[in-house]
Amino acid sequence: MRLEGKVALVTGGASGIGRATALLLASQRAAVAIADLDETAAKVVLQQILTAGGRGIALRCDVSRAKDCQRAIRQTVEALGGLDILFNNAGIIRRADVLVTTEEEWDRVMAVNVKSVFLMSKYAIPVMAKAGGGVIINTASGWGLKGGRNAAAYCASKAAVVNLTRAMALDHGAQSIRVNCICPGDTDTGMLRREAQQLGTSEERFLAEAADRPLQRVGTPEEIAQAVLYLASDASSFVTGATLVVDGGGLAG
């Protein structure tokens, strides 16, 4: 699953699953653009890649804004020579039901989790098509396939990502652009721990409940990154429109 000569762009690449994936793709010889609202943290990840002998750039990007997305694609192509892999990973969560969720919170979750996939893909696809093809991977969630309590906006947004993935796979397969999504289960990231704060419970109790699945633990960002690497590589050359669940068996029963 080596990515020699490939260029990847990872949104939300400064932390969690995005960071782990950026480092893994770079270790497989891809040049990586790390796009994040937190440019300082993105530069820390970039320095790790450069220190290991890799290539990349760090970009400040608000993925909910068209101009930022367009600029991120342009700067990636200019600095790294193209764009072969787009990992639409940036995301946020608001743990609340529809009664408690405000209109502003709903709009922000939808903008970061869904609109960003639309915008980044809108500007990436012409670049990929001109080059003869590419790969887009979107981060959805197990809650994009099954409902969850007190996460109405998040569940709705991730279900949208799942079906947007299928729609783009249908629309752009003839251009040799594969589009797939991953559906992680609870993964030990800062965002998961912030859920405990939103719900007003202790991290210890929250993580113990999150581990209630066949493998009896939450996932690691590095494990999710391995699934992204598979979809980004030629090992998945006949896979498009697919939803890859990586959740330790959480949806199995």
CA-based diameter of the chain, in Å? 51
The DSSP bridge pattern shows strands 7-11 and 85-88 to be parallel
Q: Which long-range contacts (CB under 8 A, 24 or more apart) does 40-45 make?
A: 41/14, 41/15, 42/13, 42/14, 44/14, 45/13, 45/14, 45/19
Are the C-beta atoms of residues 221 and 13 closer than 8 Å to each other?
no
* Residues forming the active site: 154
Q: Which two tokens stand for residue 172?
A: 């752009």
C-alpha span between 250 and 89 (Å, rounded)? 21
Q: Which amino acid is at 146?
A: K
C-alpha span between 218 and 192 (Å, rounded)? 10
C-alpha span between 147 and 163 (Å, rounded)? 15
Are the C-beta atoms of residues 76 and 92 closer than 8 Å to each other?
no
